[in-house]
Structure 1
Amino acid sequence: MDEKVEVNVDSLFLNETTASRTAYERAMKKAHELIQDQYANLSDPYSGREVGQLRADWKQEEVCTDSGRILETVLQEAGEKVLAHSIAVHHPRCAAHLHCPPLIGTLAAEAMISATNQSMDSWDQSPAATLLEENVVRWLTELFDFGEGADGVFTSGGTQSNFMGLLLARDRYINQAWNWNAQQQGLPPEANQLRILCSEAAHFTVKQSAALLGLGEQAVVTVATDHEQRLSMIDFERQLEKLKNEGKSPFAVVATAGTTDFGSIDPLSSLSKYCRREGMWLHVDAAYGGALILSDRHRFKLAGVEQADSVTVDFHKLFYQPISCGAFLLKEGVEFRWLSRHADYLNPIEQEEQGVPNLVGKSIQTTRRFDALKLWVSMQTLGKAGFASLLERTILLAEQTMEMIASDDCLQSVGKKPEINAVVFRYVPDKDYMRIDELNLMIKQTLLARGEVVLAQTRVAGQVYLKLTLLNPRMTTEDAADILERVKRVGREAEINWGEREKACLHP
């Protein structure tokens, strides 16, 4: 039976009244207690609760009550049913995806962002926020050596940023090649000749973007990778020549600075030379590897990024920001013209003529969060050197983990030295007849079901491998060794069990 809740409007919203202040403090105190008790203090990275069990927890739960319930009671239930069964991204044995632990300062900034609820789509909804985002974007374009005239905008992450890069590249090319305005006229008859080149290891959002842009996935031509999982310039030249001989129109190249599996970085300088010569747009997907720009020790790996037409960079990866937080950077800010439009209720032309900032004309989003605040808070408190030290720590850990794997006969890695902080490996059974792909999948699933380790899986040359994404600066070599030992223990258990089952089949 629902509790009877008396509604006091002042206590429902943040405002100047005593009722509001009291309600806000009680709610935040309760949330803080639950985050600490039900989440931050978890002894394992996951509770081990399976899909069916979690579904059963919610099966009888009403989404909306008839008369409402006490807030503290509802929060308590959220803590027990959600927080306690969430993936603990701060835990040293959580190492699956590009899923970072957020900095504490950013959690405070998130509270400010949510409380003020600024919308970045017009000046009269976000005056101070607009100017701060412009300042942060200006700093980012300087960080990437984009020069005068550069611009950018905050985005929800790599998917949106990659889409925007290819959208602007498509519309600029269509206008220059065929004097056609895609924004007004749609796609021209020649659009089926348009082609995008990227490596076979590029993020799936390149093909997704091509589909959403009306070009179809067939417009994406994948280039083979070399032994270091980078785009092969030999195959790139071959594919480009083939496209030109076929009368196609290659208009954009997407280079990856930090592939999802290996953290590999494509040859940016070589690609930029081709793009300038051929009149193609170079978009660099640096969602993962963009943070290298902060490190004097590792930024050389991004050499050539300053020649790109546009860049994707995610802050909810190696900048340790809460999801979601990313940016799209544009070398020539004037290219936003292929996206810009005016709405009388948001950004009338008269305001632009008066110099009022207009961010909605730079984004495919209208309502948009004030995510620049949390990055600004982080950069102010940690500084460039502080961020660089966190990043360098994780890269060193990845190198040390790779060395541990190389010296262990039970494990096998791919590659010699991590480009960033991803390590791809697999457990190797004693007996040749063991089904190695099935075994490694089982290891990953067993460790998650036990709540011990959160690992990722991938395929290399069609074979199943495990992956450690070592984003967490708190993780030590002892933690990495512990994960590897747990992998081997589960692997050996499976070998014994499978061996006993095989004997039983042979000698019933």
Structure 2
Amino acid sequence: MNNNQMPAGDILGASLPHISGNFGNIFHTDNYDHYRSAVEETLDLVGTFLHRNDKPFSGIEAKEMKGMVQQIDLNQKLSSYQELLEEVDTIYVKHATAFHLPQYVAHLNCPIVIPALAGEILVSAINSSQDTYDQSAGGTFMERKLIDWTAEQIGYGTDSDGVFTAGGSQSNLMGLVMMRDCFSQKRYNHNIKLDGLPAEAGRFRIFVSDKSHFSNLKNASIMGLGEKCIVKVPTDERFCMDITLLKKYMKREEQLGNIPIGIVATAGTTDFGNVDPLEDIANIAEHHNIWMHVDAAYGCALLLSEKYRHLLNGIERADSVTIDYHKSFFQPISSSAFIVKNKRELRILKHHADYLNPAEMDEEEIPAQINKSIIQSTRRFDALKLWFTLRMMGKDQLAEYTDTVIDLTKDVASMIAENPHFELLSDTDLSVLVFRYIRSDVGDLNALNQYIKMKLFYSGEVLVASTKVDGNFYLKFTFLNPITTTEDVHQILNKIKAHGEDFGTAN
């Protein structure tokens, strides 16, 4: 030790001064006991939420809920965490939807795994930002390794890359931006990032199925192409993109003077859980030399399953893929990713700022995830939750959960199809069933099923979703909970039947 060095203990003592003044709420060494106490009290409320709920929803009406929240004076602080948690329990926790219960079979909300919740504690407390290496050193490489792992599951090679995002809609936006900009660069040598949309952009056309996610329309609008650029291709009897009609629609648009720039395939539609014919779509995209994006926000769970992985055959030929870990990997919101087959294409998204990622920075030496993010600068280390999950559970257990859910759905489909009181509209590749309750003495089946859904919702006993197909109202089961059993679903169907029998007499 030279004369200018201090013992380690002295260095640590000098670098951790005690906090004075009214700063006891700052996350800091001196305030760890405060932090721990606050977390433990909040954890008790989490336990209350779990043990108190025997149905997925309280049934509270929006008017009452709004009134309870509106009467809170945010300018008046509370005196203790106990008082705060009692308030939050009253206006939030008591009425929060319990996605973990088997009676919740509505939307694409999965129950979450405990390792991910443990990771969430570190994510929130340490509060790393994933935009540059100096804000998240280990996190940068952990996220990159998870992106590489996901790309490997897709079937991509070592030239792939990607980034975690806030959700499937953002990932789909990235897919469409890459589709548009790469096409413009290659076809017209026009750089949209620098020069804006080319004159031909008004004739750009993107082909999707008419059962694809609504984010395609929103994203097209955001990109300045307008919703008119989205061409909805009708689906077949299983509500998958009709390949014959895709070819026909592409030819028609070309004859009209329009310009196909890409195709969006859906691997797991929101309403039906079915996968578009990926191999056929890949063949067409390659023939036309245009971008293929796969929205696998829901169907990404199949990547882990040996039993059902074949349903995604062809996804490895796509130029980009949307992944939602918070739908099908049992992760807390948010945890999603955009994966691209050729990492060189991501250069289109790169912008330099002297205070973050200056142009002279060697990205191989000092990587910056912000170079791959389209709209997020500050970005949570959501990848850590998936890291916790894979390291504690492994890929195989996640796959087992997915297989269990799909197997359950097949059993329930048979159950509904064989029951004369129900009409099943379609089978599913994943875990969504669209059906309705029928009564021969009721002419308006739409009104009947709307009545059933509202009765279930405001009783809070069961939450189901709904959709419209060809103008008709249907109920919808979405199964993402591996704990749910056929007996649970049998009881749900009995509740639906009971409300269906009350229709007419109760009005």
The interval holding the TM-score normalised by the smaller chain is over 0.9
1:489 aligns with 2:498: yes
Q: Which of 97-106 and 298-307 deviates more?
A: 97-106
What pairs up with 1:149-168 in 2 under 5 angstroms? 149-168=159-178
Shift of the alpha carbon at 1:15?
1.8
| 2:281 equivalent in structure 1 | 271
1:453 aligns with 2:466: no
Q: Distance in 2 between matches of 1:39 and 1:84?
A: 11
Shift of the alpha carbon at 1:9?
4.2
Letter in 1 for 2:189: N
8 Å CA contact retained: 1:38, 1:80 = no
| 2:96 equivalent in structure 1 | 86
1:108 aligns with 2:121: no
8 Å CA contact retained: 1:35, 1:79 = no
| 1:11 equivalent in structure 2 | 24
What pairs up with 1:243-254 in 2 under 5 angstroms? 243-254=253-264
Shift of the alpha carbon at 1:8?
5.8
TM-score, reference length from structure 1: 0.94
Q: Distance in 2 between matches of 1:373 and 1:354?
A: 22
8 Å CA contact retained: 2:292, 2:319 = yes
8 Å CA contact retained: 1:170, 1:251 = yes
Q: Distance in 2 between matches of 1:43 and 1:353?
A: 52
Residue 495 of structure 1 aligns to a residue whose secondary structure is coil
Residue 466 of structure 2 aligns to a residue whose secondary structure is strand
1:478 aligns with 2:491: no
1:394-419 Cα shifts (integer Å, max 9, x gaps): 1111111111111211111112x321
Match for 2:69 among 26, 34, 58?
Answer: 58
Judged with a 3 Å threshold, the aligned counterparts in structure 2 of structure 1 residues 44 and 353 are, in CA distance, closer, same or farther, namely closer
1:202-245 Cα shifts (integer Å, max 9, x gaps): 00011111111100000011101000110001101100111122
1:238 aligns with 2:251: no
| 2:308 equivalent in structure 1 | 298
Q: Distance in 1 between matches of 2:355 and 2:324?
A: 31
| 1:341 equivalent in structure 2 | 351
Q: Distance in 2 between matches of 1:319 and 1:9?
A: 42
Residue 463 of structure 2 aligns to a residue whose secondary structure is coil
Shift of the alpha carbon at 1:13?
2.2
Letter in 1 for 2:369: L
Shift of the alpha carbon at 1:39?
4.3
Residue 164 of structure 2 aligns to a residue whose secondary structure is strand
| 2:448 equivalent in structure 1 | 439
Q: Distance in 1 between matches of 2:21 and 2:199?
A: 61
Shift of the alpha carbon at 1:10?
4.8
Shift of the alpha carbon at 1:113?
0.1
1:394 aligns with 2:405: yes
Shift of the alpha carbon at 1:14?
2.2
Identical-residue share of aligned pairs (%): 38
Shift of the alpha carbon at 1:445?
1.0
| 1:503 equivalent in structure 2 | none
What pairs up with 1:70-469 in 2 under 5 angstroms? 70-352=80-362, 355-364=365-374, 365-415=376-426, 417-433=427-443, 435-469=444-478
Residue 453 of structure 2 aligns to a residue whose secondary structure is helix
Q: Distance in 2 between matches of 1:124 and 1:147?
A: 28
8 Å CA contact retained: 2:105, 2:465 = yes
Q: Distance in 2 between matches of 1:37 and 1:23?
A: 22
8 Å CA contact retained: 1:315, 1:326 = yes
8 Å CA contact retained: 1:258, 1:287 = yes
| 2:40 equivalent in structure 1 | 29
Q: Distance in 1 between matches of 2:62 and 2:54?
A: 21
Shift of the alpha carbon at 1:43?
1.1
Q: Distance in 2 between matches of 1:79 and 1:353?
A: 47
Residue 271 of structure 1 aligns to a residue whose secondary structure is helix
Shift of the alpha carbon at 1:483?
0.7
Shift of the alpha carbon at 1:389?
0.6
Judged with a 3 Å threshold, the aligned counterparts in structure 2 of structure 1 residues 287 and 354 are, in CA distance, closer, same or farther, namely closer
Shift of the alpha carbon at 1:430?
3.1
8 Å CA contact retained: 1:325, 1:371 = yes
Judged with a 3 Å threshold, the aligned counterparts in structure 2 of structure 1 residues 403 and 354 are, in CA distance, closer, same or farther, namely closer
Q: Distance in 2 between matches of 1:175 and 1:354?
A: 25
| 2:15 equivalent in structure 1 | none
8 Å CA contact retained: 1:39, 1:86 = no
Letter in 1 for 2:424: S
Shift of the alpha carbon at 1:201?
0.4
Q: Distance in 2 between matches of 1:404 and 1:143?
A: 33
Q: Distance in 2 between matches of 1:291 and 1:352?
A: 36
Q: Distance in 2 between matches of 1:484 and 1:385?
A: 32
Q: Distance in 1 between matches of 2:480 and 2:363?
A: 45
Judged with a 3 Å threshold, the aligned counterparts in structure 2 of structure 1 residues 200 and 419 are, in CA distance, closer, same or farther, namely same
Residue 351 of structure 1 aligns to a residue whose secondary structure is coil
| 1:4 equivalent in structure 2 | none
Structure 2 gaps, min length 5: 1-19
Q: Distance in 2 between matches of 1:40 and 1:424?
A: 31
Aligned length: 487
Residue 347 of structure 1 aligns to a residue whose secondary structure is coil
Q: Distance in 2 between matches of 1:285 and 1:8?
A: 52
8 Å CA contact retained: 2:299, 2:430 = yes
1:446-500 Cα shifts (integer Å, max 9, x gaps): 11101111110001121000001010111011111111110010110113335xx
Shift of the alpha carbon at 1:40?
4.7
8 Å CA contact retained: 2:78, 2:84 = no
Shift of the alpha carbon at 1:105?
1.2
Q: Distance in 2 between matches of 1:436 and 1:145?
A: 45
Q: Which of 56-65 and 88-97 deviates more?
A: 56-65
8 Å CA contact retained: 2:160, 2:339 = yes
Shift of the alpha carbon at 1:193?
0.9
Letter in 2 for 1:431: D
| 1:501 equivalent in structure 2 | none
Q: Distance in 1 between matches of 2:317 and 2:498?
A: 48
8 Å CA contact retained: 2:41, 2:81 = no
